[in-house]
Amino acid sequence: MNRNIMDGDAMKSDVIVALDFPDRRSVLDFLNLFDSSDDPELFVKIGMELFYSEGAALVREIATRGHRIFLDLKIHDIPNTARGAMASLSRLPIDMVNVHASGGIDMMKSAREGLTRPDGTCPLLIAVTLLTSINDEKLRDELRIKTDLQSFVLGLASLARQAGMDGVVCSPLESYEIKACSSSHIITVSPGVRFPADATEDQARVVTPERARERLCDFIVVGRPITRAVDPVESLRRFRSAFLKTDQ
C-alpha cells in the first residue's frame, strides 16, 4: 500500500522511463524534449548508473521538475545495512524504491523499517524477483537453481508478500500468475518490454506492451526503445497508447 501520495497518483498505471544515462547533462537534454509535449510529467526510473554518478542532487532536481521517481538501486545486503541504506533514501523525494527479494524476509522487513519516515509516510517498496536478463538456461546452468523459472519467481514473490512489500519487479510473463496467487493487491512492475521491431538487446524474456497489459502489469519499465529512439516523445506515446490502451 502506498503511504506516500495520498491521492494515489504514485499508484496510477504508467510506462516508467528508465533514465539509463551517464550524467546530468544527458538526462536533462532528454527530459527537455518532453517539456512541450502533451504530457510533460513522466514517471522515470533512476538506476545505478545515474545515481552513482550524480547522486541525490539529481534526484531532487528531477523531482522538482514534476516527475515521479522510481529509484532502482536494488538493495541487497544484510538486514541492518539494508535498513540504514533505506533510512538514507527515505530523505529523498521518491515515489518507489526496491530491494532484491532473494535477500530474504528479514532484510525486506528491515528495509521497510528504514524507509518509513518519522511522519509515517513511506515510498512504495517493491522487491525484484528475478532479473529479466536471466532465462531458464542461465537459471539452471549458471545459478544452478533446480526449480523451474516460473516456480522460482513465484516463490520469491511469495516471500515479498510475506515481508509486506507493496509489489514486485517481474517479467510480464509472470505478472498474471503472481497476482493470481496473491490474496491482497500486489503491484507488478515489469521491464523487458519491446515492440516486435525493437532490438531485444540483453533482455532475455521480452513481451510487447499490449501483452504486458493483458498480463495485468501495473507498470512497465522501458529504457532504450525510448531513450535511444529518433523521436523519444513519439516512442513514449506509442508505448503508453499500447500499454494503457488510450489514443493519446
Q: Which residues bind ligand C5P (CB under 6 A)?
A: 18, 20, 47, 128, 131-132, 169, 191-192, 201, 203, 221-224
Q: Is 159 helix (H, G, I), strand (E, B) or coil?
A: helix
Listing DSSP states for 85-120 in one string gives HHHHHTTS--SEEEEEGGG-HHHHHHHHHHHS-TTS
Half-sphere exposure (Cβ direction) of 96: Cα atoms closer than 13 Å: 30
Q: Which residue has the cell 532475455?
A: 204
Q: Is 203 helix (H, G, I), strand (E, B) or coil?
A: coil
Given a contact cutoff of 8 angstroms between Cβ atoms, the answer to whether 210 and 238 are in contact is no
The DSSP bridge partners found for residue 207 are 193
Q: Closest approach of Cβ 51 to ligand C5P, in Å?
A: 11
Q: Closest approach of Cβ 208 to ligand C5P, in Å?
A: 13
Q: Closest approach of Cβ 236 to ligand C5P, in Å?
A: 12
Count other Cβ atoms within 10 Å, centred on residue 176: 14
Q: Which is nearer to ligand C5P, 47 or 167 (CB)?
A: 47
Active site residue 74: yes
Q: Closest approach of Cβ 131 to ligand C5P, in Å?
A: 4
> Which among 45, 74, 138, 245 is annotated as catalytic?
74
Q: Which is nearer to ligand C5P, 63 or 131 (CB)?
A: 131
Q: Which is nearer to ligand C5P, 102 or 116 (CB)?
A: 102
Q: Which is nearer to ligand C5P, 80 or 236 (CB)?
A: 236
Cell numbers of 109, please? 522487513
Q: Measured at CB, which residue is nearest to ligand C5P?
A: 223
The residues assigned a catalytic role are: 74
